[in-house]
């Protein structure tokens, strides 16, 4: 059964819009866990646009499922992450002007730099995932740098305008997941997934974890976080059953 990672960054984005204390991503994480979240995901950005160090410290104490920290390979952030010891880290690319994480991490061109960083986390027993586009070069490089998992970027699939384009993207993701598993990497996926487009990803990828933020937090404004997470869990569960029935 594919597990659900709920990204609570957007709760912090709303708080930071007023530089106040509410809404609190810690409360959001607890409610998400009550709704069935299997993982809580946050991204501590270098520009501290949403999640702050205080959030990471408190979530490390409060989250009882699994804490997944997205981060860049910047030395300052790596140092904080090693000190706070999340259960899992996911390396993502970071650019100041981007609205959200755009492309996947170019692991192939950064192998030399990533190898010692990945090793430091693994030595501490922290699971290491790399957020990449579903490309052979990036998958092979992820294995070479010692990652445990890849998180396949589903943005191109989610943003595809035509059905044929979406099918092509889904096939690329499926092939990427297959290759990753063949060489011993676990498979997560995420970005741009919502209640409508998540089904085929669940069925085709059989990912370990899906990391979803924007659509769940958006729905939560109307139905509350617990309910929004429950609804996403239901969709994932239904599509897991469909995939199993087809085997």
Residues that bind ligand PXP (CB under 6 A): 7, 9, 43, 70, 90, 92, 100-101, 131, 151, 190-193, 211-215
Q: Is 211 one of the annotated active-site residues of the chain? A: no
Q: For residues 188 and 202, what is the distance between their CA atoms, to the nearest angstrom?
A: 11
Q: b/e per residue, 16-55, with b = 16+ CB within 10 A? A: eeeeeeebbbbebbbbbbebbbbbbbbbbbeeeebbbeeb
> Which residues have CB under 8 Å from 164's CB, separation 6+?
none
Pick the catalytic residue from 10, 43, 50, 153: 43
Q: Is 46 one of the annotated active-site residues of the chain? A: no
Q: For residues 21 and 240, what is the distance between their CA atoms, to the nearest angstrom?
A: 38
Pick the catalytic residue from 191, 204, 209, 239: 191
Q: For residues 197 and 167, what is the distance between their CA atoms, to the nearest angstrom?
A: 12
User: Which of residues 194 and 244 has its CB atom nearest to ligand PXP in the complex?
Assistant: 194
CB of 246 vs ligand PXP, minimal distance in Å: 26
Pick the catalytic residue from 33, 70, 94, 151: 70
CB of 46 vs ligand PXP, minimal distance in Å: 14
40 bridge partner residues: 6, 67
CB 223 within 8 A of CB 234: no
Q: For residues 155 and 166, what is the distance between their CA atoms, to the nearest angstrom?
A: 10
User: Which of residues 38 and 247 has its CB atom nearest to ligand PXP in the complex?
Assistant: 38
Q: For residues 127 and 147, what is the distance between their CA atoms, to the nearest angstrom?
A: 8
Residue nearest to ligand PXP (CB): 213
User: Which of residues 26 and 210 has its CB atom nearest to ligand PXP in the complex?
Assistant: 210
Q: For residues 173 and 189, what is the distance between their CA atoms, to the nearest angstrom?
A: 9
CB of 244 vs ligand PXP, minimal distance in Å: 25
CB of 24 vs ligand PXP, minimal distance in Å: 18
User: Which of residues 206 and 207 has its CB atom nearest to ligand PXP in the complex?
Assistant: 207
Q: Is 153 one of the annotated active-site residues of the chain? A: no
User: Which of residues 74 and 244 has its CB atom nearest to ligand PXP in the complex?
Assistant: 74
CB of 92 vs ligand PXP, minimal distance in Å: 5
Catalytic residues: 43, 70, 191
């Amino acid at each position: 059964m594919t597990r659900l990672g709920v990204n609570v960054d957007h709760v912090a984005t709303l708080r930071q819009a007023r530089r106040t204390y509410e809404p609190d991503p810690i409360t959001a994480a607890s409610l998400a866990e009550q709704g069935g979240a299997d993982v809580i995901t946050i991204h501590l950005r270098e520009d501290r646009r949403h999640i702050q160090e205080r959030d990471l410290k408190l979530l490390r104490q409060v989250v009882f499922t699994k804490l997944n920290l997205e981060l860049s390979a910047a030395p300052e952030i790596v140092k904080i992450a090693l000190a706070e010891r999340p259960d899992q880290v996911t390396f993502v690319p970071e650019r100041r002007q981007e609205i959200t994480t755009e492309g996947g991490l170019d692991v192939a061109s950064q192998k030399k730099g990533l190898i010692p960083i990945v090793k430091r986390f693994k030595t501490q027993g922290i699971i290491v995932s790399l957020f990449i586009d579903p490309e052979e070069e990036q998958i092979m490089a992820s294995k070479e740098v010692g990652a445990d998992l890849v998180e396949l970027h589903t943005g191109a699939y989610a943003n595809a305008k035509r059905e044929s384009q979406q099918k092509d993207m889904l096939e690329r993701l499926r092939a990427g997941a297959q290759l990753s598993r063949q060489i011993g990497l676990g498979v997560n996926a995420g970005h741009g997934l919502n209640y409508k487009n998540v089904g085929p990803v669940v069925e085709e990828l059989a990912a370990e974890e899906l990391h979803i933020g924007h659509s769940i937090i958006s729905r939560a404004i109307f139905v509350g976080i617990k309910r929004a997470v429950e609804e996403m869990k239901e969709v994932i569960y239904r599509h897991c059953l469909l995939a199993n029935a087809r085997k």
